[in-house]
């Protein structure tokens, strides 16, 4: 007897996949089950968001790292919700397939559930973001639980949490020794609270591997070895635009050199009278 039921659709790879819809938390979870690794990048404007989206990057993070790479501060602490909302909206408008995750900046969720809900709701309503990210483990579980209950997907962040850099005494590797067990407990608590993924920043690779194998949600590494389910980098670091970077950063291009060469070539033609030429002028 023939059946009219269509065969199940084959899963679409996260990186480089195609489709007429956005990547969702269900896609992220399915990739974990397939043992599929995937990349995440930061983005802060529509043009770079379009480039990364068309390159197949499945998740774009509008990070509080904008404090440094966009606004010129020396840490993530000063950036505000009002600073990040227009950047996040631009990334959403510039992309079509990627899930866009908005970073909750320092001071926008730490005091409690009400503040976290207010901040996250602004990002979801005013920018069209598809998820939010916040830093911390068991100390922010009430916020995570409340956001998830409100229908807001939450990405956690453990290890070196830059918003707590002053408490850490600088940018240092986290999770060595006994503190590694605390980090594992935090990761499990975030999963139990409903987080759909967790970033592990600047932790030993062996610890990140243990966390990854102990969770059913994906881990996203940054300076955490290669055993995590995904990797994330600040795009300016990845592309060689940032002059000084951490040990874990690999530069995949020399955008700093390309832009410098372009600026000098433009300036030379302006000074020499070669630009604008006839083909660049109106009649």
User: Which residues does the annotation mark as catalytic?
Assistant: 201
CA distances from 150 to 42, 116, 144, 153 (A): 25, 11, 10, 9
d(CA 215, CA 158): 14
CA distances from 199 to 48, 156, 217 (A): 22, 6, 11
In the block, tokens 């068309």 appear at 54
Contact by Cβ (8 Å): 65, 46: no
Longest CA span, the chain: 80
Q: Which residues lie below 8 Å from residue 50, measured CB to CB, with a gap of 6+?
A: 94, 95
Q: What is the DSSP letter of 161?
A: -
């Amino acid at each position: 007897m023939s059946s009219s039921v269509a065969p199940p659709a084959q899963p679409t790879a996260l990186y480089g996949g195609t489709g007429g819809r956005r990547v969702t938390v269900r896609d992220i979870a399915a990739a974990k089950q397939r043992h599929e690794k995937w990349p995440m990048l930061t983005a802060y404007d529509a043009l770079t968001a379009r480039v990364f989206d068309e390159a197949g990057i499945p998740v774009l993070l509008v990070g509080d790292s904008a404090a440094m790479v966009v606004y010129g501060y020396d840490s993530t602490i000063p950036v505000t919700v009002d600073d990040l909302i227009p950047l996040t909206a631009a990334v959403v408008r510039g992309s079509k397939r990627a899930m866009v995750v908005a970073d909750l900046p320092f001071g926008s969720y730490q005091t409690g559930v009400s503040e976290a809900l207010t901040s996250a709701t602004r990002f979801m309503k005013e920018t069209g973001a598809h998820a939010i990210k916040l830093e911390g483990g068991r100390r922010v579980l009430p916020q995570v639980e409340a956001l998830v209950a409100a229908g807001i997907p939450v990405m956690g962040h453990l290890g070196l949490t830059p918003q707590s850099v002053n408490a850490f005494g600088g940018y240092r590797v986290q999770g060595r020794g006994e503190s590694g067990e605390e980090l594992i407990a935090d990761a499990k608590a975030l999963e139990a609270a409903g987080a759909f993924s967790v970033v592990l920043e600047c932790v030993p690779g062996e610890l990140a591997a243990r966390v990854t194998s102990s969770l059913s949600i994906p881990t996203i590494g940054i300076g955490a070895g290669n055993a995590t389910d995904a990797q994330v980098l600040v795009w300016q670091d990845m592309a060689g635009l940032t002059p000084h970077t951490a040990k874990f950063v690999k530069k995949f291009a020399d955008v700093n050199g390309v832009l410098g060469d372009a600026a000098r070539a433009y300036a030379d033609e302006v000074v020499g009278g070669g630009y604008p030429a006839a083909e660049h002028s109106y009649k």
